[in-house]
Amino acid sequence: MYLASDNTGPVHPKIMDALMRENEGYAMPYGADSVMEQVTASIREIFETPEAAVYLVATGTAANSISLATLTQPFDTIFCSPEAHIHEDECNAPEFYTGGAKLTLVPAVDAKISAEALAASIGGEESRGVHGPQRGAVSITNVTERGTVYSVAELKTLCDVAKGFNLPVHLDGARFANALVSLGCTPAEMTWKAGVDVVSFGGTKNGCMGVEAVIFFDPKHAWEFELRRKRGGHLFSKNRYLAAQMLAYLEGNLWLDLAARANNANARLVRGLKQIEGITFLYEPQANISFAGWSRAGHRRLHDAGAAYYVWDDNLEGDDPNEILTARMVADWSMTDENIDQFIALIRG
């Protein structure tokens, strides 16, 4: 019953098999391997963009931070939601890689920025000339860190606001596949057709060992990204092991199948929780993440049985067994129906 994070799950066997096959013989280093050529061609086909520049790194923080640094000057500010991973969970890595650019937090509802709030936040900058930060990139997260999903129309509206100020747009897609499955759209519709300039295309949370793709839809950014990736210590000499993961991830639409499994596991969890009287949800779950509240007694039963998830707003040591505590639950591709049902049964008591 591991619902602490989609980082806790195993690597899919097809990806492990691909790594083992790639571990035979020799290949050129630093991305000059033949597998990387196949990855680039596959991603260009999937995203319907023959000119895209495609690169691999091992972590989402590197993907986000180095791509944002490529779009941002040190004296700029990056616009994002207060719940964005680049703000909450990356230890100021974007500020580090950009050489000092700051983050401007745009008010959000359910972790989603509105066009009006974004326009107001952007408009509020560049008001002090040389004394203040300049307007920089806009960063959007889909799936958000609260489990909500921007629709294609919402993404396009936000991108239109950014373009109205002549600003580039970065999409944090650590859970890109989960968002895509939820929306039922194409990768192109969720990215460059909506106005996104660069996407961090996640694999690690969705069955890979550790690989993220950075996709620039305009190749003019390619050389700068390459230099920044190298300077930042994220150019892998044995790139073929990143590429082998990504190629296996993409082949046969495995990435979409794994995301569908995770989303479906969460949907089963939500259906079960909604049948229990008194359970409340902080946000309407739309992908593979849920925030729900139930009694301390239910949490204790789960933890005593070995369930792994985060109690969001308190620990379990309080005196009142009926006090409602909020759980953050994230399903990964390997979560079984039996584990979900057992989790729900323990809450019921």
Average pLDDT, the chain: 96
pLDDT, tens only, 306-325: 999 999 876 778 778 889 99
Q: What is the pLDDT of residue 265?
A: 98
Centre a 10 Å sphere on the Cβ of residue 263 and count the other Cβ atoms it contains. 24
* pLDDT exceeds 80 at position 135: yes
The pLDDT > 70 percentage for the chain reads 100
Burial of 128 (0-12, 13-18, 19+ CB in 10 A): exposed
Contact (CB, 8 A) for 131 and 103: no
Q: What is the pLDDT of residue 160?
A: 98
Domains parsed from the chain with CATH numbers: 13-252 (3.40.640.10), 255-348 (3.90.1150.10)
Calculated CA dihedral for residues 306, 307, 309, 313, nearest 10 degrees: -80
Q: Of 258, 226, 256, which is closest to residue 239 (Cα–Cα)?
A: 226
Q: Of 155, 111, 150, which is closest to residue 291 (Cα–Cα)?
A: 111
Q: Which tokens go with 66?
A: 């180095």
Q: What is the pLDDT of residue 193?
A: 98
Q: What is the pLDDT of residue 316?
A: 78
* pLDDT exceeds 80 at position 229: yes
Contact (CB, 8 A) for 244 and 75: no
pLDDT, tens only, 96-108: 999 999 999 999 9
- The SS3 call for residue 331 is coil
Ramachandran assignment for 92, one of left (phi > 0), alpha (psi -120 to 50 degrees), beta (any other): left
Total residue length of the chain: 349
DSSP labels, 136-172: EEEEEESS-TTS----HHHHHHHHHHHHHTT--EEEE
Burial of 152 (0-12, 13-18, 19+ CB in 10 A): middle
Give the C-alpha separation, 118 to 254, whole Å.
Answer: 35
Q: What is the DSSP letter of 3?
A: -
**Strand bridging mode 169-173 / 198-202:** parallel
* pLDDT exceeds 90 at position 331: yes
- pTM, rounded to two decimals: 0.96
Give the C-alpha separation, 66 to 122, whole Å.
Answer: 22
User: 210 pLDDT band (50/70/90 cuts)?
Assistant: very high
- The SS3 call for residue 72 is coil
* pLDDT exceeds 80 at position 190: yes
pLDDT, tens only, 70-94: 999 999 999 999 999 999 999 999 9
Indicate the helix (H) or strand (E) that contains 342.
helix 337-348
- The SS3 call for residue 325 is strand
Q: Please name every residue paired with 326 in a beta bridge, in sequence order, or none if there are none.
A: 293
Radius of gyration (C-alpha) of the chain in whole angstroms = 21
Give the C-alpha separation, 267 to 286, whole Å.
Answer: 8
| Residue 113 phi, psi (nearest 5) | -80, 140
Q: What is the pLDDT of residue 112?
A: 98
